[in-house]
Amino acid sequence: MTQFMRHLLFALFCWLSLAAHAAVDPALVKQLAAEESEDKIAAIQKIAQTADPDAAKLLQSLDEGTLKDAKGEDITINNRVRGELASALAALRLFDPDRAVRFKAARELAASADVAIAPLLAKARDKEGDGQIKALLAEAHALATLKDPDMNVRIAAAKALATSTDPNTRTLLKAMTEPANEAESLVRRAAFASYIEVKDRLTIGENVGKIFSGLSLGSILLLAALGLAITYGVMGVINMAHGELLMIGAYATYAVQGVFRNYVPAWLDWYVLAAIPVAFFAAALVGVVLERTVIRWLYGRPLETLLATWGLSLMLIQAARLIFGAQNVELANPSWMSGGLEVIPGLMLPANRLVIVGFALFVLALVWVLMNRTRLGMFVRAVTQNRPMAGCVGVPTSRIDTVAFALGAGIAGLGGVALSQIANVGPDMGQGYIVDSFMVVVLGGVGQLAGAVWAALGLGIVTKFLEGWAGAVVAKIVVLVFIIVFIQKRPQGLFALKGRFVEN
């Protein structure tokens, strides 16, 4: 009796399973359990073309391994069948009521469309009301029909892909222009015309992306060099510890993140804003200590100052290792700095870099106002242009030296805040920016904000284009050689100071 009940329950289970998939042809359901992979794939493709919700449930059960054959055994599939099954499930999700699900499925199929699901793609494209998803489906359908036996269908598909912004489509169209890959000359001609359009469009996008990357790099160099332009311009100090002031600003940001995470986690998204004044004053305080204890005793002795500040940089690096450890620390981007902005199809500008560019412009504006619209700025400019004369008319040059060095160090700390959002934060992070900062200052002209801006942005953009052409190492060498040659021809840099600089 017990065995009879087991058989009865199993029969009931099988009947319920069939009832659940009643809309699917039972012959196709039976074919899913066939021995040959080709038979299973054919059944999957035919089931998917029904675009029925029951078809999606059936294929999902097959994917999860819960679908059973007539004997009650699990239907097994290999990797080849699983790949076809994934495409079929993605195609069926094109009819989901949720836009996000349809968009994700269209993105997946645009990357791996097959001629077998072309009719389903056409059906979904004609039914779709969302313009963005419709465009993706049109591209996926064109990709799927590139291997259609009909030459006219392939020509239409090649022409339809002329509007694509996908680099993979460019590669595919280029391959189709080869006789070895496409026998028909008319198809090759259509593919070549579309390839040229796609290539030109992608080239424009790539160049715009390089310009933005150059502006992003230039904004970092500007933040790193602004403070150096002030201290080097006022005191003529070659501060080799300037990179470590960047590092102090980054670690101050890390410390603020820790405070927010432990005490006010609900406000963690805004820790970067709170870190800005903390990083500025932390780096400025270290700058005051360095100027008061070491640097002020070495004015007028550039070689000794260079060696002393290099030693100070090593001390600061070791102090960071002792306090925070030798390994890099982790900083998270706030949600409002995550994601990106798609300015043109295929070109996404990262949100964190957009914020950094805006932040650099904001700091630049504040420094300009400080230097050109305040009493302190007037004193700094006076000391920069003629120190003895400024002292004779009552400017406290010694105090201005300290304030200017603190200001330059604080601006470097702000650069560390920006760097913490795009680069690894570790004890040695400042070493990679000190040489570039000096190049910006020398190329732009000592003590000149306008020169620092043009030099930083120009070096950033040129470096990114050279990196794409010859690699990062060669780009560095070419930029350095250019600066050396430029300084030989124009020692004062892009912008020369008005008046005379007389060392103390």
Q: Which of 73-87, 296-310, 367-381 has the lowest mean pLDDT?
A: 73-87
Q: Which of 308, 330, 156, 138 is nearest to 240 (CA)?
A: 308
Gap between the Cα atoms of 217 and 351, Å rounded = 14
Q: If pLDDT is split at 50, 70 and 90, which confidence band does 3 have? A: low
Average pLDDT over residues 187-205: 88
Ranges of H-type helices in 21-166: 26-31, 37-48, 53-64, 79-92, 99-111, 118-127, 131-144, 151-160
Tell whether the model's pLDDT for residue 274 goes beyond 90. yes
Gap between the Cα atoms of 22 and 283, Å rounded = 72
Tell whether the model's pLDDT for residue 220 goes beyond 60. yes
Strands 340-344 and 347-350, by their bridges, are antiparallel
Q: Which of 30-34, 133-137, 341-345 has the lowest mean pLDDT?
A: 30-34
pTM above 0.75, yes or no: no
Percent of the residues in the chain that have a pLDDT greater than 70, as a whole number? 85
Q: Contacts from 156-162 at CB under 8 Å and sequence distance 24+? A: 158/187, 158/190, 158/191, 158/194, 159/190, 159/193, 159/194, 161/194, 161/198, 162/193, 162/194, 162/197, 162/198
Kindly list the distances between the CA atom of residue 286 and the CA atoms of 185, 188, 243, 255, 406, in Å, as whole numbers in the listed order: 71, 67, 13, 16, 8
Gyration radius (Cα) of the chain, Å: 33
Cβ neighbours of residue 129 closer than 8 Å, sequence gap 6 or more: none
Q: If pLDDT is split at 50, 70 and 90, which confidence band does 24 have? A: low
Kindly list the distances between the CA atom of residue 205 and the CA atoms of 50, 172, 202, in Å, as whole numbers in the listed order: 39, 19, 5
Mean pLDDT over all residues of the chain? 80
The pLDDT of residue 341 is 80
Question: Residue for token digits 């963690």?
Answer: 268
Kindly list the distances between the CA atom of residue 447 and the CA atoms of 127, 270, 283, 479, in Å, as whole numbers in the listed order: 64, 34, 20, 21
Average pLDDT over residues 473-502: 71
The pLDDT of residue 233 is 66
Contact 161, 139 (CB under 8 A): yes
Tell whether the model's pLDDT for residue 8 goes beyond 50. no
Q: What token pair was written down for 77?
A: 């599939």
Number of residues in the chain: 504
Q: What token pair was written down for 350?
A: 């990262």
Gap between the Cα atoms of 261 and 330, Å rounded = 13
Q: What angle in degrees, to the nearest 10, is found between the helix axes of 185-235 and 397-419?
A: 160
The pLDDT of residue 71 is 67
Tell whether the model's pLDDT for residue 259 goes beyond 90. yes
Q: If pLDDT is split at 50, 70 and 90, which confidence band does 18 have? A: very low
The pLDDT of residue 15 is 41
- Give the tens place of pLDDT for each residue, 308-323: 999 999 999 999 999 9
**Terminal CA-CA length for the chain:** 110
Q: If pLDDT is split at 50, 70 and 90, which confidence band does 5 have? A: low
- The DSSP annotation for 139-187 comes to HHHHHHGGG-S-HHHHHHHHHHGGG---HHHHHHHHHHTSTTT---HHH
Gap between the Cα atoms of 330 and 488, Å rounded = 43
The pLDDT of residue 271 is 94
The pLDDT of residue 16 is 44
The pLDDT of residue 289 is 93
Q: Which of 133, 185, 136 is nearest to 163 (CA)?
A: 136
Gap between the Cα atoms of 178 and 431, Å rounded = 49
